[in-house]
Amino acid sequence: MCGTCGCSPRAVISLHVPAGASHQHHGHEDRGHGPAPHSDDHPHLAQERTIELQQKVLAKNDELADSNRRWLHDRGVLAVNLMSSPGSGKTTLLERTARELAGQVSISVIEGDQETELDARRILAAGSRVVQINTGAGCHLDAEMVARGLRALDPPTGSIVVIENVGNLVCPALFDLGEAAKVVLASVTEGADKPLKYPHMFRQADLVLLNKTDLLPYVDFDVVRYSSDLRRIAPDATLLQLSATSGDGTTAWYDWLRRRRMPRGD
């Protein structure tokens, strides 16, 4: 198991470019996710080795993330790391975003899932170029996976790359991918307690999107409480409410992306 988050040590990563970019398929064994040392006879030693492994995994990832960040900046590309629990509506939001910003902003997607190309096909049908990364038993994307995805996409200057991370409110928050901003998507169907239960994820957020607001009349969700808890956990995060299904509130999301986007030629 991974010394940082418990991922499978032999997760196979497959890159798929369904259309609009070079077709590639890469098998990759994540060398940073080796087995953590363990000793029943020396539990303190085992704990120290586990901590050391965690530090090495994150240090290697951070170096690669910095490289990604320079690569993106040099090309004038905005990368956004979109994180959420499964079923919060990330792909639905990206489908609408791609369709409604078509012809205005070039958007491409790095799609992270454990298996299948289902979400990549949805993004492709919405008009965006997409790379699918399948992590196998891995519960998050890391900087090396994203580097491979960026090379396959080769996004144009002035464009936006959205990294749709594996659905998980814990591990994706640990790994810098080289993104310019972290966005956490939550939905009213999950309950209002998520900022308190998963504080590390929300503390990382530059923007929190509260999705599925069209369902507020039908669920027990206290928006005031949610907003108050979020301010305590992440006082610098911006909160926007929207419905990816109806489109209500999405204009503010688009405006946020436009403000963050690097001017062409920079």
Q: Tens digits of per-residue pLDDT, 140-157?
A: 999 999 999 999 999 999
Segment 86-144, tens digit of pLDDT: 999 999 999 999 999 999 999 999 999 999 999 999 999 999 999 999 998 889 999 99
The reported pLDDT for the residue numbered 58 is 83
pLDDT band at 7 (very low <50, low <70, confident <90, very high): low
Q: Residue 237 domain-assigned?
A: yes
Interstrand relation of 78-83 and 207-211 (parallel, antiparallel or unpaired)? unpaired
Over the stretch 208-262, which tens digit does the pLDDT of each residue have? 999 999 999 999 999 999 999 999 999 999 999 999 999 999 999 999 999 998 6
* Torsion angle of C-alpha atoms 115, 194, 93, 76, degrees rounded to 10: -90
CB of 189 closer than 8 Å to CB of 109: no
Count CB neighbours of 99 within 10 A: 12
Examine residue 86 and state whether it is found in any structural domain, yes or no.
yes
Amino acid identity for residue 158 in this structure: G
- The pTM score is 0.83
**pLDDT level of residue 17 (50, 70, 90 thresholds):** low
For residue 63, pLDDT over 60 is answered with yes
> What is the DSSP-derived secondary structure letter of residue 113?
E
Decide if 172 is inside a domain: yes
In a domain, 146, yes or no: yes
| Residue 25 confidence (pLDDT) | 42
Q: Which residue range(s) make up the domain with 147?
A: 14-260
CATH code (residue 132)? 3.40.50.300
- Total structural domains in the chain? 1
CA distance 8 to 204: 24
Does the residue 7 lie in any domain? Answer: no
Percent of the chain with pLDDT over 90: 74
What pLDDT band is residue 162 in, cutting at 50, 70 and 90?
A: very high
Residue 221 CA to residue 103 CA, distance in Å, equals 37
Domain annotation covers residue 1: no
Tokens of 107: 């958007």
